[in-house]
Amino acid sequence: MGVMATFASPEVDEHLDLSAAGALDPHWQTVVWNDPVNLMSYVVRVFREYFGFSREEATRLMMAVHHDGHAVVAEGMREQMELHAQAMHDYGLWATVRRAPGA
């Protein structure tokens, strides 16, 4: 969508640019929330497998989920964050999408 807007002539429609700006807003987050069921080893495995994190980084994020109740696992454009959330749901993790606080 954002790419199409760059090909549009300037007079076509101003709101195209606005919607492109929205789609390209990089201040969205995928957040994984703590739950009492998913095993710590499983959560680390998912973070390593899906995001390609090192064991250390995956473990740090898992511990953040466990102790703080949630952790931001990705930041970027909304559509991408929704794909990550969907992937986390595929693994049985509880993930949400939000605009970065204060962004």
Record the tokens describing residue 46, joined without a space. Answer: 């998912």
The distance of closest approach from Cβ of residue 51 to other proteins in the complex, given in angstroms and rounded to an integer, is 15
> Of 93, 85, 95, 96, nearest to 43 (Cα)?
93
The distance of closest approach from Cβ of residue 18 to other proteins in the complex, given in angstroms and rounded to an integer, is 18
CB atoms inside a 10 Å sphere around CB 18: 11
Closer of 61 and 95 to other proteins (Cβ): 95
Closer of 11 and 90 to other proteins (Cβ): 90
Closer of 8 and 96 to other proteins (Cβ): 96
